[in-house]
Amino acid sequence: MGTYTATVRWTRNGDVFTDNRYSRGHEWAFDGGIVLRASSSPQVVPRFSDPSGIDPEEAFVASLSSCHMLTFLFLAAARKFTVDSYVDEAIGTLAKNDRGKFAMTRVLLRPRVIFSGVEQPGAEKLKELHHKAHEGCFIANSVTTTIDCEPVT
């Protein structure tokens, strides 16, 4: 269907490097021209991370949440439901997997969707929309992490 690119840039800023005391701050650049400050997670590398940067773990959670949302919005529009807002305060859990390796072992999506208009989904239809969004999400279909969705009402 297509290819997607991201450019990740890091440059040593005079640090010795071989002593493992170098900055983990770097940049992510995307094809649309946006450049974001990124870093290792301060929870993983406290002294050398840039807490203002986006870390890979956060980006992983955000990409799953964003993909789910975009698929959900598509499905809702196709069913003539008017969505006024969608907010997901998603949470990812970093833990050891069954092989003893650190991994994002769970992502909890907690979307709060506000609808307007005559046609609004009931609880069962909302659950079905989220289930179909999960099944159709390209990113969710690309990972082995357990992804749960608990809509917030």
Q: What is the pLDDT confidence band of residue 144, given thresholds at 50, 70 and 90?
A: confident
Provide the pairing of β-strand 6-9 with 26-30.
antiparallel
147 has which bridge partners? 107
CATH 3.30.300.20 residue spans of the chain: 56-149
Helix orientation angle between 56-78 and 123-136, rounded to the nearest 10 degrees: 120
CATH number of 56-149: 3.30.300.20
Q: Which range has the top average pLDDT, 5-14, 43-52, 121-130?
A: 121-130
Note the pLDDT of residue 15: 80
Note the pLDDT of residue 141: 93
Note the pLDDT of residue 24: 93
- Asked if residue 1 has pLDDT above 80, the reply is no
- Asked if residue 134 has pLDDT above 90, the reply is yes
Rounded CA separation 77/69 (Å) = 12
Q: What is the mean pLDDT of the chain?
A: 93
Length of the chain: 153
Q: What is the pLDDT confidence band of residue 110, given thresholds at 50, 70 and 90?
A: very high
